[in-house]
Amino acid sequence: MNPLYDSIRAIFWREDGLYLLDQRKLPQQKIEIHLLSASAVADAIRDMVVRGAPAIGITAAYGVVTSAIEHQSLPFSSRKQQIIQDILLLSESRPTAVNLFWALDKMKACLESSGADQHNLLSLLLNQARQIHEDDLKANYRMAEYGAALLQSDAAAVLTHCNAGALATGGYGTALGVIRRAYSDGKIQQVFADETRPWMQGARLTAWEFVEEQIPVTLLCEGAAASLMAQGSVSWVIVGSDRIAANGDVANKIGTYALAILARHHGVKFMVAAPTSTIDMQTASGKDIPIEQRELAEVFNCGHQRVATEGAMAWNPAFDVTPAELVDAIVTEKGVIEKPDFDKMTAHMAL
């Protein structure tokens, strides 16, 4: 395993600031966007230039550094106030992924701890953002090891949903990190990936990551998942998460809940790989998780092409909640929580 996995990266901090790989354009084009203000970073998160819970948190952290650069010419106290306003702005970009709020809390604490140290403010914030980025990458390696160890050596095929890969994280991936590791250990022969309407993260991003690394990947419409499981070759569903509540309920890309029900019906195991920064012990259960509702045009259209008849209505929740009782294992960088419940989650977070 390469400890400096960098073959696919979504977020770059360079000498002149923050660059994001524009995930809306993949796989056809590999274009980077240079972001020079916190409001541009908030827009990039909202508009899905960058997406995936850990990647959203890392980007927002660099967004705070961008704010410190943007307001460099202000008197120190106004500059700090402006950064706090930008933290609020960034926190309003997307509501479900708790990694966003987790990372911004860390950046705010760093800002507050800087006191009157105006000369070092920028480097303190940059070091904190880089630490968040680096820790996420390291956490993915640990999850990969714990998650892959759960698979039998004959776990021929797995199914994943959305994109919980290098593009959605600091690198390597959560669910896709587990799959990468299990594939290199010879435990997986085949990966199935849901295309994931309406943003097609599976077709555009997950399949691209695997093709780039020559891992065999087969796409399916999510409506085909039941038939796939009925054939008997899939042994695990492996997904990421945007927020895990204190009782082990899991919010993830819309369609994940349906997969969990199908998995239980067909005797397929269901694994959620997510760092502890995705676990929200302040949220008691899944029903308290805010679910983002996105523009209806995403349902009416395929890409930019309208396919729905005029006059129809639409419903477009970006995420759903899988109840803890349908989850066989939550894998974090600290280890494995089998059949999660409140007591096991509490004990795990105290490790």
Least CB distance from residue 198 to ligand MRU, whole Å? Answer: 10
Least CB distance from residue 173 to ligand MRU, whole Å? Answer: 6
Radius of gyration of the chain (CA): 20
Q: Return residues touching ligand MRU (CB under 6 A).
A: 51-54, 97, 162, 164, 168-169, 174, 199, 201, 240-242, 252-253, 318
Could you give the CA distance from residue 217 to residue 202 in angstroms, rounded to a whole number?
10
- Amino acid, single-letter form, for residue 30: K
Give 110 or 164: the residue with its C-beta nearer to ligand MRU: 164
The residue written with tokens 């000369």 in the block is 119
Beta bridge partners of 255: none
Give 247 or 277: the residue with its C-beta nearer to ligand MRU: 277
Give 71 or 141: the residue with its C-beta nearer to ligand MRU: 141
Least CB distance from residue 278 to ligand MRU, whole Å? Answer: 7
Beta bridge partners of 165: 173
Using DSSP bridges, classify how beta strands 305-306 and 301-302 pair: parallel, antiparallel or unpaired.
antiparallel
Residue nearest to ligand MRU (CB): 240
The conformation of residue 224, written as its DSSP 8-state character, comes to G
Give 100 or 229: the residue with its C-beta nearer to ligand MRU: 100
Q: Is 43 a catalytic residue?
A: no
Beta bridge partners of 250: 244, 322
Least CB distance from residue 91 to ligand MRU, whole Å? Answer: 16
Q: Strand, helix or coil at 98?
A: helix
Nearest-CA neighbor of 274 among 139, 158, 163, 101? Answer: 139
DSSP per-residue string spanning 286-333: GGGSPPPB--THHHHEETTEE-SPTT-----BSEEEE-GGG-SEEEET
Least CB distance from residue 120 to ligand MRU, whole Å? Answer: 32
Q: Say which of 22, 86, 136, 242 is annotated catalytic.
A: 242
Q: How many Å separate Cα 314 from the centre of its chain? A: 25
Give 5 or 199: the residue with its C-beta nearer to ligand MRU: 199
As annotated, the active-site residues are 242
